[in-house]
């Protein structure tokens, strides 16, 4: 019974934490944009505008639901859910901290610890593409359709690089369990996969930008060409769900980059740190990647769509394959035999 309560507590805490972070992240996006452009940003609701996300949420709830004429009513309502739910489900296996004891129950700092967690995230996260295609298609608007299709072609193209990057990490770690992958990077800081596999690190980070439809690859909502892309016709909470899903996906991707390449929750040179410190270390590393998403968005110009597809298929895919080969050969001939 206590076990069950602890599990419930963990699920609620992690899910609540991620949703809360996503809400604050929307504020951070506007604040960072403002700072980069030498403005102030939202500062009216609460101290430093901290309650802005809450105000936005309330406003979204009371906004009018608009279903465009000729739209497929059922799919139009389902699409935001199909976009947000997979992103929120991927947080289930992210290891936020190591072993811990809560109320006398020995447990670990993730919702679930499964053997194939490294591939679970790709398998579930990849399903987010349906929400975008269907959202774009069911709106009965040309902009939406084009945005949705572009985004889906982009997401499947870059999912390969993501998968191959994970594969090369798994080869070296010898396990597909995220906890084992983190373990393999414990101890000295140069044991982090970012230093062991710099090429895979670079490719993975680029692929996370494309997977989450973020700048410079945000063709799903390419404003100058497609108004707002696949969610042009969406309003109120349905619109908010698309965004919540996108921000959750970004948080998950940042967490995964941390887990795969920056040693996850491990504190360098302090193998058995208490879980609170591990959680803080994880948060700090993830925050860097979250900031990177914003920094890049307000700094770089956007790609052109054919350039994006060329980059994905002609550069990222061959390089990812080569990288898997390289580390496969090193592992197979005993270079990592420790």
Partner 1 sequence: MLSQYGPILILIALVLGFAAGNLVISELLGKKTSAIGKADAYECGMGSIGNARLRLSIHFYLVAVLFILFDVESLLLIPWAVSAKFFEAQGVGGIVFTEIVGFVAVLGIGLAYVWNKGGLSWDR
Partner 2 sequence: MAETLFYLLSIGAIACGAGVIRARMPLFSVLCLLGAFFCLSGIYLLAGFQFLAVTQLLVYAGAIMVLFLFVIMLLNLGDENEIARQSGIALSGKQLAVAGTSAGVFALIGVLTAGYGIAPVETASTRASGIDELQTLAVELFSRYMLPFEAASLLLLLTMIGVIAIAKRQRAGEPTHTGAGFPWTKEPLDEESTL
Q: How far is the CB of 88 from partner 2 (least distance, A)?
A: 16
Q: Which two tokens stand for residue 181?
A: 């992958």
The DSSP bridge pattern shows strands 97-102 and 105-109 to be antiparallel
Q: Which of 60, 108, 119, 298 binds partner 2 (CB under 8 A)?
A: 119
Q: Determine, following the binding rule CB under 8 A, whether residue 17 of this chain makes contact with partner 1.
A: no
Q: How far is the CB of 180 from partner 2 (least distance, A)?
A: 9
Cα distances (Å, whole numbers) of residue 155 to 87, 93, 253: 13, 21, 13
- Footprint of partner 1 on residues 205-264 (CB under 8 A)? 227, 232-233, 236-238, 240-241
Q: Determine, following the binding rule CB under 8 A, whether residue 8 of this chain makes contact with partner 1.
A: yes
Annotate each residue in 305-324 with x if it binds partner 2 (CB under 8 A) or - if it does not, as one string.
Answer: xx-------x----------
Give me the helices (H) in the chain, please. Answer: 2-36, 52-61, 73-89, 117-125, 128-138, 142-173, 178-183, 193-196, 198-211, 223-226, 236-261, 275-297, 305-310, 317-332
- Footprint of partner 2 on residues 4-63 (CB under 8 A)? none
Q: Determine, following the binding rule CB under 8 A, whether residue 126 of this chain makes contact with partner 2.
A: yes
Q: Which does 201 bind (CB under 5 to 8 A by kind): partner 2, partner 1, none?
A: none
List the one residue out of 126, 133, 22 whose CA is nearest residue 72: 133
Annotate each residue in 45-64 with x if it binds partner 1 (CB under 8 A) or - if it does not, as one string.
Answer: ---------------xxxxx
Contact 265, 109 (CB under 8 A): yes
Question: Residue 324, Cα to own-chain centre: how many angstroms?
Answer: 23
Q: Which residues contact 117 (CB under 8 A, 6 or more apart)?
A: 93, 176, 177, 178, 179
Q: Is 17 helix (H, G, I), strand (E, B) or coil?
A: helix
Q: How far is the CB of 107 from partner 1 (least distance, A)?
A: 10
Q: How far is the CB of 119 from partner 2 (least distance, A)?
A: 5
Q: Which two tokens stand for residue 47?
A: 């101290």
- Footprint of partner 1 on residues 134-193 (CB under 8 A)? 139-146, 149, 153, 156-157, 159-160, 163-164, 167-168, 170-171, 174-176
Please report, as ranges, the residues that interact with partner 2 according to CB under 8 A.
72, 75, 114-116, 119-120, 122-124, 126-127, 129-130, 133-134, 137, 146, 149-150, 152, 156, 159, 175-177, 304-306, 314
């Amino acid at each position: 019974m206590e076990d069950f309560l602890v599990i419930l507590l963990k699920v609620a805490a992690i899910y609540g934490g991620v949703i809360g972070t996503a809400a604050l992240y929307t504020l951070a996006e506007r604040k960072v944009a403002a700072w980069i452009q030498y403005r102030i940003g939202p500062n009216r609701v609460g101290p430093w505008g901290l309650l802005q996300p809450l105000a936005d949420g309330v406003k979204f709830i009371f906004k009018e639901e608009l279903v465009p004429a000729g739209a497929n009513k059922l799919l139009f309502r389902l699409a935001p859910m199909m976009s947000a739910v997979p992103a929120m489900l991927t947080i289930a296996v992210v290891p936020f901290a190591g072993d811990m004891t809560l109320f006398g129950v020995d447990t670990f700092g993730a919702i679930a610890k499964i053997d194939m967690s490294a591939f679970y995230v790709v398998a579930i996260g990849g399903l987010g593409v349906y929400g975008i295609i269907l959202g774009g298609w069911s709106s009965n608007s040309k902009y939406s359709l084009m945005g949705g299709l572009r985004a889906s072609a982009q997401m499947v193209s870059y999912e390969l690089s993501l998968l191959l990057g994970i594969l090369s990490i798994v080869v070296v770690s010898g396990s597909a369990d995220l906890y084992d992958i983190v373990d393999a990077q414990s101890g000295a800081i140069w044991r982090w996969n970012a230093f062991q596999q710099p090429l895979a690190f670079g490719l993975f980070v680029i692929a996370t930008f494309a997977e989450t439809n973020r700048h410079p690859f945000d063709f799903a909502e390419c404003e100058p060409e497609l108004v707002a892309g696949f969610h042009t016709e969406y309003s109120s909470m349905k619109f908010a769900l698309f965004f919540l899903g996108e921000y959750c996906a970004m948080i998950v991707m940042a967490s995964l980059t941390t887990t795969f390449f920056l040693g996850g929750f491990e504190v360098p040179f302090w193998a058995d740190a208490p879980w609170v410190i591990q959680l803080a270390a994880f948060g700090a590393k993830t925050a860097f990647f979250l900031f990177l998403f914003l920094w890049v968005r307000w700094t770089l110009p956007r790609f052109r769509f054919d350039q994006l597809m060329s980059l994905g298929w002609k550069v990222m895919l061959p390089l990812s394959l080569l990288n898997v080969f390289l580390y496969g050969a090193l592992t197979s001939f005993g270079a990592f035999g420790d």
